[in-house]
Each structure stands twice: as C-alpha cells, then as structure tokens.
Structure 1
Amino acid sequence: MSSDGPPDDAHAPLAHRVPDLGALELLLAVARHGSLGRAAREVGITQPAASSRIRSMERQLGVALVDRSPRGSRLTDAGALVTDWARRIVEAAEAFDAGAQALRGRRDSRLRVAASMTIAEYLLPGWLIALRAERPDTAVSLHAGNSAAVAERLLADEADLGFVEGLAVPDGLEGAVVAHDRLVVVAAPSHRWARRRGPLTAAELSATPLILRERGSGTRQVLDAALAEQGGLAEPLLELASTTAVKAAAVSGAGPAVLSELAVTEELASRRLVEIPLDLTPLARALRAVWPTGHRPTGPARDLLSLTRG
C-alpha cells in the first residue's frame, strides 16, 4: 500500500480510522450539490478549507472520494459508497444529539437547592427571583437546614447546589465564596448587657448561657471556634433550630443571642434588639456555594451560582 493510504494497524483507536462528523457532513453536502464550493458554503467554511478536508479524508481512508473538474465535483464509486455509510453515521449522530438535548431539558426543568438557614432566609430569595427571570420554566425546590444537613443532602445526591455558612468547606465538597457575613451579639433593650459601658469580653461571652442555634449550624461552628481558648460555650439557655426562632426569643427578652448581622438588620434599626460590642476579633465568616467534589454545577445550578456573584 502506498504511503498515502490508511494506517496498517487495524487496532488503532476508531477515532483515528474514521473521519470526524464535520468531514462526513461535508461529503454529504458535496453529494447533494455536486459542487465543492456550494458544499463549503452550506457547512460554513471556505472552499480551500473544504478541499483540504476532503483530501485529508481521502488520505485517512486510502481511497479517492471526489473527482474535481471545471464542471463541478462528482463522487467516485468509492465516494458514493462512503457517502451511504456516512449518511447512516450522521443520522445516528443526530439521534444521539436529540437524546442528549432531551436529557439536558429534563435536567434543566428542575433545580434542587439546599441552604443553611441564614442564606435561605435572607439571600436566596433575591437570587431565586433573578433566576426565575432567566429560567422561567425551571421548577426550584429549596430545603433549608443547618450546614451539616446541606452537606449530607449534596453527598446523597438530594440537591444540585448547596449554600453553607461554616468556617470551611465540608468534607467531600468543593465550593466558592459568594458573600461575607458577621455574627453579632444581640439582646433586648431591657437586658443588662444593653446598658454596658464597655465591650463584652470573650470570657464573659463564654461563661454566659446564650440563646443559640443547634450544633452543626454554621453560626455555632464560628462561635465555638472563636471561644475555644476560653473553654468553649456555656450550656445554652435555649437551643433552637432556626434563625427566626433564636431572634424571636432574644426580642422577647429571654436572653442574649448570637446571630448573623443579615438576620437582625430590621430589629437593630427599630431598637427591638441592641448590638452588644465585643472585645475580641470580629466574628466574621464566609458564605459559600458548595457542590460534590469533581461535579461542578451545570445548567440551572450553574446559572444560580453566577447570579450569586452578581
């Protein structure tokens, strides 16, 4: 066989022995039009590029496919046979593409979000309204829980995208920071701390029973880490499962609480709660979007992630 023929190794990868779809579509266009120039225009390339692609395909297969003359381009006998095979390959590829589009449509028709309480209550509504404007046909379901529960749902494939508030990305997940937050100590105006002249020390905060979120929440993680040198937190005065419940208990005068600054903006402005100054490093934290390691968000989850950064 001449050096222009196909490789002798019949066991080479199929992709090295079979022309790509673009070349096969070009050959079908030549068969329809009887002209390399018109075929090139149909597939959106220049005539020299089309000629080069046909020659490359002929070298790959080891046979002449097209006879070129001033009157146009005509398939050789081998070219006509290859064209019949090419038609079946292209039809199969079209069926494959239609199936893939159907899968994408099914994926894009829903979005399952899991978010920790503060993000679910104070940030996600705005992001989801913006997503609705971009994807009106996507049905969104939201599960709100603590950061540990969010991680569990993602790892169990019960959510497509999660949002957490802890100090770090949970094991088995990767993520991106989408916002920052600060925890504040608050109390009702009637509480004795509201009349303090000096800031609250870490030792005082550590020794005082507080109204707190449950273990596993991002708020609790940050507070535990900040007071670790003081021996940790005292036994909670109340331990509640939602930011709203903690806030309501603090407003009622039950005791002081530690909450996201996002959650108490209105209460501080109306003086239903008072922020207690702290004599320790600010209780800052990053708010993150998270997803299972190696499975970066696609479709509506990717779009929602983009909106959080806007």
Structure 2
Amino acid sequence: MDKHLQIFITVAEKQSFSKAAEEHYMTQPAVSQYIRTLEESAGIRLLERSNKYVRLNKAGEIVYHYGKEILGLYTTMQHLVDDLMNRANGPLAIGASYTFGEYVLPRIIADLLEIHPDIEPAVTIGNTAEIADLVAMHQLDVGIIEGEFNRKDMMIEELAEDEMVIVASTENKLFHQKAKIELSDLANETWVVREHGSGTRAATENFFQKADIQPVRLMQFSSTQSIKESVASGLGITLLSKWAIQKEIKYGDLKIVPMEGFPFTRAFSIITKSPFQTKTLEIFIERLRSSKLLRIF
C-alpha cells in the first residue's frame, strides 16, 4: 500500500500533522516529508497550512476522495488473497439502512459470531442513499437497504419482504371518532416522516401518491426512534416497518391504524460493488439469505 497516500489521508482526517504522526508512530518531520513527496509527485499543493489549521484545498479534496477509494480497494484485494489460504476472519464493513440496521441486523450478527467468532464486523447505519454511496466508494463491503433501488454501478439482490403499516398513538382520535377510517381522515393528520434519501420516506411518499392524498402537515425527523417517540406522544401518525414497532405495539405505546390495502410490502436488498467477495463476506451474505429472522412475519 502506498504509505504516502495513507499518511496524507490521516493528516486530512485529523487536520493535524502531529496527530497523524502519533497515529502512524512517526515523527512530525517524517510526516511532513511524506506529504511533500506526495505533493511533488502530484505537481500541486494538496493542503493549506497555517499555525492554526491544516485543511484540504480543491486538489487535496480530489486526492482524498479517490485515495479513500484506492485504499478500500487495496484492503479488499488483500483480504481476497488472504482468503486463499485462511479461514473466514478479520474485518467486515457492513452498512445498513435504519430499519434493517437497528431492528434486524444485530441479531443476525450475533448468530454469525456464534459460528465465526474471528469475524470482526463494523456496522455503519444511515439512510439508503448514504449506504449506497459508501458501498460505491468501497468504504463498505456490503449494504442492506430498503425500498426501490436501481443503480447500474451496483450488484443488487432482493433479500426479503418488509411489511409496512400506518401507526398512531393509542389515544389518537382516529380510533375513537369513526367505525371505519377513510383516506381523507389520514390527509387531515400530521404525518411524522423521515428525511429525503431514506427508504422509509420514499415508501411514505409512494403511499401518498397512490392514495392521492396531500397531508396538511409534515414533520420530519432523521431517525426511526425519534419518529416513534413523537407519534407515541401524540404529534401525528406515520408509516413504519413492522420490524420497527414490535415493542411499542406489545406495550401499547403505538397502535396500527386499520386500513384497506395494508400492510403493503417493500424489499430489503443486498448491494455490493465488487464481483469478487472475500470468504468473510460470502459467509455473511449466506447468513442473511438463510436467516429465519427475516421470515418472522
């Protein structure tokens, strides 16, 4: 691996030559020499320096962006070569959208580690768009995302169906005013929704379009947990995966709104970038495919 590139990325992330030196067990002058050599090779300065800061300039941003991808590819290559002689072990960078990452993935990883204790999973949770971008840049080995997804630079495998329902506080007037709840009643409610880029937000907007309703008010939160707390507190209603609301339904904090056509389903999908997979990644994906947890509903 190119040491100059590795040290440059550390300096950029730490915004400090001294902290980079500590990270690589080197002297600060040695780090400075590595950076000078890289800049001479590139034919341009990559960092703006002063007594108060170290930061990337435009050229540095380009080198940092592609440098991260290069190092990710190098790591994958090394693991693939190691796999020819060794059993499944070492790091596995997993990305997951919020619903899968928070409510399904932990139990699958626990099952995986019972059989393969030498695997070292590192999990990143974000919305579907964020996870896809990290997989594309080789910062993640695999992503599990939700909803409709179509990118030609990715390999996509549908994994399981996710059932989604409308939920509200048990005290919501929807449950007490009418024997049958109509779509027009939902339009008059405040809808608590996820941010754009989220699979759950995409599913919610898809529902609005198909039902031909325009809610009077939207309230946006960036996590499923904050949405559940808000809805349980009476701030509005929402559309969520059954996976995300098991405990709240069990303990009476939330109640499913009975509507014709629900639950409706969306897909959980596996996304990868490289056609080559380490033994560790192969084992993890096979564990996903065979998991009984995904057939709970």
Give the TM-score of the pair, scaled to structure 1: 0.61
- C-alpha displacement of 1:233: 4.8
Matches within 5 A, 1:213-252: 213-230=194-211, 233-234=214-215, 236-252=217-233
Matches within 5 A, 1:141-152: 141-152=122-133
Distance 1:145-1:101 versus aligned 2 partners, 3 A rule: closer
Contact 1:202 1:280 in 2 (8 A): no
Distance 1:203 1:302 in 2: 48
Q: Which amino acid aligns with 1:287?
A: F
Distance 1:207-1:231 versus aligned 2 partners, 3 A rule: farther
User: Secondary structure of 2:266's partner?
Assistant: strand
Map of 1:184 onto structure 2: 165
Map of 1:136 onto structure 2: 117
Residue 307 of structure 1 is aligned with which of 275, 287, 291? 287
- C-alpha displacement of 1:273: 0.8
Structure 2 stretches lacking a partner, 5+ long = 1-79, 291-297
Map of 1:93 onto structure 2: none
Map of 1:17 onto structure 2: none
- Count of matched residue positions in the alignment of Structure 1 and Structure 2: 211
Residue 241 of structure 2 is aligned with which of 260, 275, 280? 260
Q: Which amino acid aligns with 2:127?
A: N
Deviation by residue 1:64-99 (Cα, 9 ceiling, x = unmatched): xxxxxxxxxxxxxxxxxxxxxxxxxxxxxxxxxxx9
Map of 2:43 onto structure 1: none
Distance 1:237 1:225 in 2: 15
User: Secondary structure of 1:150's partner?
Assistant: helix
Give the TM-score of the pair, scaled to structure 2: 0.64
Pair member with larger Rg: 1
User: Secondary structure of 1:308's partner?
Assistant: helix
Matches within 5 A, 1:154-165: 154-165=135-146
Distance 1:273 1:158 in 2: 37
Map of 1:126 onto structure 2: 107
- C-alpha displacement of 1:120: 0.6
Distance 2:151 2:129 in 1: 8
- C-alpha displacement of 1:252: 1.4
Distance 1:235 1:156 in 2: 39
Contact 2:88 2:119 in 1 (8 A): no
The yes-or-no answer on 1:271 pairing with 2:252 is yes
Distance 1:233-1:171 versus aligned 2 partners, 3 A rule: farther
User: Secondary structure of 1:237's partner?
Assistant: strand
Distance 2:94 2:216 in 1: 33
Deviation by residue 1:24-44 (Cα, 9 ceiling, x = unmatched): xxxxxxxxxxxxxxxxxxxxx
User: Secondary structure of 2:275's partner?
Assistant: coil
Contact 1:268 1:274 in 2 (8 A): yes
Contact 1:188 1:194 in 2 (8 A): no
Deviation by residue 1:145-192 (Cα, 9 ceiling, x = unmatched): 111111011001110010001123444222222221111111111111
Percent identity at matched positions? 25
Distance 2:208 2:130 in 1: 24
